[in-house]
Chains A and B, each alone.
Chain A
Amino acid sequence: MSIEAVDIKYVYNAGTSAAVTALDGISIEAGRGEWVSIVGHTGSGKSTLAQHLNLLLTPFSGFVSIDGVRAAPGSREARAARRKVGLVFQYPESQFFAETVREEIAFAPSNWGVAGDALDACVTEAASWAGLSPAALDANPFSLSGGERRRVAIASVLSARPDYLVLDEPTAGLDASGVRGLTATLRELCSNGMAVIHVTHDMETALSMSDRITVLERGVLAVSGIPERVAEYLSQRPVKGLVMPPSVRFAQGLREKGVSLPLVSRVDGIIEVLEEARSRRKR
């Protein structure tokens, strides 16, 4: 069971002098229980790719298949497949319309006929996953702070219990405890069998959380693979707009000094390697 985008091409303003190719032959796959990151600089096409995954955009060529179903746009199969994919937008405000947080979160499940206690349970559960207090449920979403709005946006997508969750820069505007909470929630949902497709330009999170990473550069694939290999590749062939996290840059510098270690290491791991190197040199 997986979501698959195959050889996607997409052009904005096609047929005009302002035509911009946003994606050129991009493929990506995420199985249930996997965490896949789509990383790229500003304008690399990563948000455009995200909007293909929930069939919001129709590719010029290529296709998206969900659990093996390759749905034609607007078809009944497409609507059914779309229910399996939740998309949290870059700007949470762009998806709000209800007057209370509760209605906002209840929208998708109640549309599908969930009602009464089951609906309440569904809303409460999604709210707590997103780190919203029960008191926040009666607030107007537009009266909330930026970080709280983001939590509402995430809760209103989680209440639909998607099998594939696509998040476009979900931690922008969240405070440190919010980021930790969201990351832990996503990890848990992931280990319960949901796929997480994380769109980000934060290499640090991508390297530490993902099973696989796809890096886009101006709409084409720059590199794709497991975090350690992607880090090796990018340290040799940097991509514009992406900066490797300090620990990787430090590890790279250590290699140049003749200390060998994996590029993707935690700080305590780096210190261990340094201590070994020091004791070897003393001997």
Chain B
Amino acid sequence: MEQSPVFFIQGAGYSYKGASVSAIESVNLSVTSGEWVALLGTNGSGKSTLAKMMNALLPPMRGVCFAMGMDTSAPELAASIRQNVALVFQNPDDQIVASIVEEDVAFGPENLGLPSEAIRARVERALQLTGLSEMRRRGSYSLSGGQKQRLALAGALAMEPKALILDESTSMLDPEGRASFLNCLRELNTRGITIIQITHRMEEVVHASRVVIMEAGKVAWDGSPDSFWEEKCAEFGFDTPQELELLRSLRAGGFVPAGTKPVVNDLLEALCL
């Protein structure tokens, strides 16, 4: 039996009240289980609206959007969709509900009516994965911006979702925080969790298995990260990450062999003078 897609979106459109142009014009996108999709695009291209549609926060006005086979425009399915598809916003203040860190993480599972043993275990795992175990008794609002972003992720993880949608959820993290956040995502992805990652940071695209570029409410390009770097990165005006810039210049000068990865240590090892 063929596996049904985690997301199936066909001709989907959405316009905000009073806006003269559609936030989403018409999107076709199908994502299968275990994929890691980097969703790119300029500000206002419709990425966040699409994320909210995939999480059943906004029903499509035209076309269809299914999450795990469930119609996102059916109100009775919304709770079940959100249990399986977690959305983490850019601004963590939008989703932090409790005043103590561990209580905030427990909020979702408590609402699922799980036994307290199971809730504790989930909270424990989520705190550990996000590196917040030591801050569990801290006040949620006394955390720094980056710590709050990790708390927002922990809250989503405690729901044990099948798919995770991240809407620029690493924007406030420092480089080390971002690295551990990405490690955490990689771990989740190897366990089969589907990841949709909206980002402006090209270095985060390196981890994705697929790149989708949005433009004016449509999917403008859809392909592999390798062909993205080769053909589309510059064409769509994205910044080249410094590692890639280094690799290209070193390749052009004949300093490293073909097939070297754009990673500083690999470049240094491969370097021949």
Contact = CB atoms under 8 A, between A and B. Distances in A.
Interface stretch (B30-38, B223-231, B238-246): B238-246
A20 interface: yes
B271 A257 contact: yes
A90 B145 contact: yes
Contacts of A268: 249
B74 interface: no
A42 B144 contact: yes
A120 B179 CA distance: 45
A41 B177 contact: yes
Contacts of B142: 12-13, 18, 20
A243 B42 CA distance: 26
Nearest to A43: B144
A277 B255 CA distance: 11
Contacts of B147: 42-43
A12, A42, A145, A242 — which one has the most chain B CB atoms within 10 A of its CB?
Answer: A42
B43 A201 contact: no
A169 B177 contact: no
Contacts of A201: 173-175
A249 interface: yes
Interface in B133-189: 138-139, 142-147, 168, 171-177, 179
A173 B16 CA distance: 21
Contacts of B174: 40-42, 201, 241-242
B237 interface: yes
A20 B147 CA distance: 15
A163 B238 CA distance: 32
B18 interface: yes
A91 interface: yes
A281 B272 CA distance: 11
Interface stretch (A66-74, A77-85, A103-111, A176-184): A176-184
B15 to A, nearest CB: 11
B43, B145, B168 — which one has the most chain A CB atoms within 10 A of its CB?
Answer: B43
A253 B264 contact: yes
Contacts of A240: 176
Interface in A244-283: 245-247, 249-250, 253-254, 257, 259, 267-268, 270-271, 274-275, 277-278, 281
Interface residues of B, number: 47
Contacts, number: 138
A188 interface: no
A247 B142 CA distance: 35
Given A41-B176, A41-B177, A91-B93, A173 B242 contact: no
Given A148-B44, A174-B43, A43 B146 contact: yes
Contacts of A253: 264-265, 268
A37 interface: no
Interface string B34-77: 00000001111000100000000000000000000000000000
Given A172-B171, A173-B200, A179-B239, A93 B179 contact: no
Interface in A211-251: 240-243, 245-247, 249-250
B264 A246 contact: yes
B90 interface: yes
A250 B267 CA distance: 8
B91 interface: yes
B268 A254 contact: yes
Contact of A177 (B18, B42, B91): B42
Interface of B: 16, 18-19, 41-44, 48, 90-91, 93, 138-139, 142-147, 168, 171-177, 179, 200, 237-239, 241-243, 245-246, 249-250, 253, 255, 264-265, 267-268, 271, 273
12 contacts: A18-B139, A43-B144, A140-B18, A174-B200, A175-B200, A201-B173, A242-B174, A246-B243, A253-B265, A271-B249, A271-B255, A277-B273
